[in-house]
Amino acid sequence: MKTEHPISTNSTFLPCLQDFPICALSKAVEYKPNFEQVLKRYQSLWQGQMENRILARIQVREGKVQRDAFMANVPQYKRMFEDYLAYWRTMAKLNDDILPVIAPSFGTGIEGGYFGANVEYGGATSWCEHIEDLIGHPEKIKYDRESDAVNRIRECSQYYSNNNHNRCLVGPANTDCPVDILYMLRGSQIYTDIVDTPEKIKQLLSRIAEGVKQFRDEMWSLVPLYDGGTFNGWMNWWIPGRTGMVGADLFCSCSSAIYRKLGFPIHQQLAQNYGNAWFHLHTLGLHLIPLIAEMKNLICLELSEDPNVEISGLSLLNKVREIVPKQLVVKVAVRPHEFVNALETGTLPGNTIYDVCERNYQDIEYWDISYANSLMDKVRKYCAQPK
């Protein structure tokens, strides 16, 4: 029988986390009874103390409540809030490493509204109208903190914070990266723009990046730090400081040369502005990983699956681990059967967050909370076998 391996207290801090404070959180979280245990595991992870240890988030079906049900009520954030609470209340007995975070989320189109585009809502998301002639008139890109879109996010953040009452954890609104926002404002024409007018694209991305920083600064000011860190409503984790997301769906379809010229400089700028950053990458963009590995202030690579990419799960993780720095945390989706097998044989690489789910994040209908909790007992005792 395996025994609990204590978390090391002698590991070296990641370079960008040297001044990160650790202290105990006094408040309990009603819908996560083992909250303090999970929080400490995330803190140890980001401090580089889990080289041979792992975190796991196990997707289960419990009753008829679905995780993303709240999106059906976009943009009615008060109804969305009740849907959030209903889901996390149902999941309160699940003792995995996912945290019950609620945060403003209205679909991607609302972000175009931060820069003057008209936004429409429907179909459990949002979209925005294009702004004409951006290439000829980049000055049309201007962040508007008093726009209807920003005000909606602001009101939603305040409502969630005021009405949560320690049932869940409140996180700031997420923000896409500049090139994906530009895609919303420009449309698919951006692909030819990248080739025909790269300097104009660079100028537009710089203007959007400045707006993103202003938006993030305000959103972060609305949500207090918890133990020196922030809860993220998309990843449902705790991450140190005001760590932000970088990455871009659009650049996954571009060459490494284009990304190095137009994407990497903006991402590096944002990462340094945030202090720390995590990188969201689709598996269509695996060719960009050698460049991403060069980024400073990066503490995590989060890999999202694409349906037509054959490589996934542990085979994907092993290839990525050959490229990225050893101390970089990786988050990856794995199939239930491969996770259980590797857990038993001690072959799950450490310093990794595992999302245990079916392909394309379908529900694992045959796993209930009781079985998931029995797996988590093994996860917390796990120590990767040395190679």
Instruction: Give residue limits of the domains in the chain.
Output: 61-242
Contacts of 264 (CB under 8 A, 6+ apart): 291, 294, 295
Identify the pLDDT of residue 313. 86
What would the pLDDT profile of 243-276 be if each residue is shown by its tens digit?
Answer: 999 988 999 999 999 999 999 999 999 999 999 9
| Residues 12, 5 contacting (CB under 8 angstroms) | no
pTM: 0.90
What would the pLDDT profile of 330-387 be if each residue is shown by its tens digit?
Answer: 999 998 889 999 999 999 999 999 999 876 444 455 578 999 999 999 999 999 877 6
The residue ranges of DSSP E strands in the chain, in sequence order, are 54-58, 101-102, 119-122, 125-128, 169-170, 229-232, 237-240, 244-246, 277-282, 298-304, 329-334, 352-356
61-242 CATH: 3.20.20.210
- Mean pLDDT in the chain? 88
Q: Helix (H, G, I), strand (E, B), or coil: what is residue 280?
A: strand
Q: Helix (H, G, I), strand (E, B), or coil: what is residue 298?
A: strand
Ranked by mean pLDDT, the top range of 24-28, 208-212, 367-371 is 208-212
What's the rounded Cα separation, in Å, for the pair 74 and 121? 7
Identify the pLDDT of residue 387. 63
What's the rounded Cα separation, in Å, for the pair 142 and 144? 6
* Share of residues in the chain with pLDDT > 70 (%): 89
